Amino acid sequence: MQVHFIVHEDFEAPGAYEAWANQRGHHISWSRVYAGEALPQQVNDIDLLIVMGGPQSPATTLEECAHFDSKAEQAVIAAAVKAGKAVMGICLGSQLIGEALSAPFAHSPEKEIGKFPITLTEDAQHDALFSQFPAVLEVGHWHNDMPGLTPDAKIIATSAGCPRQIVAYSDRVYGFQCHMELTPEVVELLIAHSQSDLSRAAEFRFVDTPEQLRAHDYSEMNQLLFTFLDKLVARYQTA
């Protein structure tokens, strides 16, 4: 398997996604756009495209962030979807998938930073990739926005703060607004770059303090993510 990551910032690291790819022996390639690495020119050699999060939004312009080209990334995503590749978007990445499929992103009802429960929907029961997920599970969050919905999209999971936590755009294209990839190391990177939000934690229903963020156990959600990714790969390879 050739797994290609698009990474927007060094502190929005792939975490458990990278750990999974390494453990399974998949070949990894990168577009670390914050470091000037180019987006893929074509997707023929990519099996799984994973687009990570970032502080940007799909509406962020090149004038506002010189290393983030929203339209160019949407073009790569659209090409991968059209070619039948497996595609995963996390946070900003999930919103870019929606935009690439003509579904505009939206602002989430609540800011969420921390570890809070999501609830699987009835549509999740009909997708074998989520068969080992419990009906309610606690996962990581670090967002203000959420992905758009195409006419065929299915909402797989919701939360009290965001109605679009996991979206299935097709049987091999998924947007995760939530952050199941968080590890203690990634959390430390995010804490260091989120001081203004975290200093106002008491003003929000779903924002943890740095102390709470450090106290959480992220291993269970990481293992569930591994199971999901294994099933996604198997589905892709047998298609």
Angstrom distance (rounded) from CA 234 to CA 170: 15
Q: Which domain holds residue 49?
A: 2-238
**Where residue 239 falls among pLDDT bands split at 50, 70, 90?**
confident
pLDDT score, position 39: 98
Measure the CA–CA gap between 221 and 217, rounded to whole angstroms.
9
Query: Of 32-36, 65-69, 193-197, which gets the smallest average pLDDT?
Result: 193-197
Give the percent of the chain with pLDDT over 90.
97
CATH number of the domain that residue 226 is part of: 3.40.50.880
As a whole-number percent, the residues of the chain with pLDDT over 70 amount to 100
Query: Is residue 27 scored above 90 in pLDDT?
Result: yes
The model's confidence at residue 35, banded by pLDDT at 50, 70 and 90, is: very high
Q: What element of type H or E holds 16?
A: helix 16-23
Mean model confidence pLDDT for the chain: 97
pTM for the whole structure:
0.97
pLDDT of residue 144: 93
Does 230 have pLDDT greater than 90? yes
Collapse the DSSP code of 90 into the 3-class scheme (helix H, G, I; strand E, B; otherwise coil) and give the result.
Answer: strand
Comparing CA positions, the residue from 231, 72, 107 lying closest to residue 177 is: 107
Q: Structural domain tally of the chain?
A: 1
pLDDT band (50, 70, 90) for residue 205: very high
Give the CA dihedral 117, 11, 188, 210, nearest 10 degrees. -60
Q: Report residue 14: phi and psi, to 5°.
A: -65, -20
Contacts of 186 (CB under 8 A, 6+ apart): 11, 13, 15
Read off the pLDDT of residues 106-151 as tens digits, 9 standing for 90 and up.
Answer: 999 999 999 999 999 999 999 999 999 999 999 999 999 999 999 9
> Per-residue pLDDT averaged across 93-107, rounded?
98
Question: C-alpha distances in angstroms, 58 versus 61, 131, 204?
Answer: 8, 31, 24
Q: What is the DSSP string of 22-88?
A: HHTT-EEEEEEGGGTPPPPS--TT-SEEEE---S--TT--TTT-TT--HHHHHHHHHHHHHTT-EEE
- Non-local (6+) Cβ contacts of 2 within 8 A are 26, 27, 29, 45, 46, 47, 48
Query: In this model, does residue 197 exceed pLDDT 90?
Result: no
Say which amino acid occupies 222: N
Report pLDDT for 20.
98
CB of 85 closer than 8 Å to CB of 49: yes
pLDDT digits (tens, 9 = 90+) for 58-82: 999 999 999 999 999 999 999 999 9
Q: What is the pLDDT of residue 164?
A: 98
End-to-end CA distance of the chain: 14
Cα 189-25-124 angle, rounded to 5 deg: 70
Structure-token pair, residue 132: 């080992």
